[in-house]
Amino acid sequence: MSHTDESRTFPAELEALTQVHQFVCQQAQSADAQDTLRSKLELVVEEVFVNIINHARPRHKPEVEVTCSLEQNDSAPSGAFCVALRDWGPPFNPLDQQQPNLELSVEERAIGGLGIHLVKQMADRCEYRRENDSNLFSICFYL
């Protein structure tokens, strides 16, 4: 497997979202990603970044590290564009959360859970791991 990485750290604040989008879209463009992928990336990255701000609340290190990489391996022979978001909040694996019941009406459905469902539906691969007292959530899209 080969890959190249580009990382930037952003404040864990909603005001940084525009900068995060610009960084990720610039990296996707450098990887020759199609416009449709860049649109997906904006939505998915926004969902994960805002969830970190709203729920992780990383007090001792209030920032989010965003790493973009281009990977090639057997499961993605033409490559995969991946975005990893790292925060220093309490351990939390969004992939372990219960799947929302989409059969229920909006009034009957519990609040929350649709965002990560959307992320999982739009991405080709999602991974979580706890590493060095941080949460690392990676989202990959095959090129």
Q: Residue 100's beta-bridge partner residues?
A: none
Scan for tokens 């925060």, then name that residue. Answer: 87
3 state DSSP class of 52:
helix
On the 0-12 / 13-18 / 19+ scale of CB atoms within 10 A, 94 is: buried
pLDDT for residue 2:
47
- pLDDT attached to residue 98: 67
The answer on pLDDT for 100 being more than 60 is no
Domain with residue 14: its CATH number is 3.30.565.10
Query: In which domain, by residue range, is 120 found?
Result: 2-142
How many domains are contained in the chain?
1
Give pLDDT tens digits for 34-68: 888 988 999 999 999 999 998 887 677 899 999 99
Tell me, letter by letter, the H, E, C secondary structure of 97-139: CCCCCCCCCCCCCCCCCHHHHHHHHHCCEEEEEEECCEEEEEE
> What mean pLDDT is reported for the chain?
86
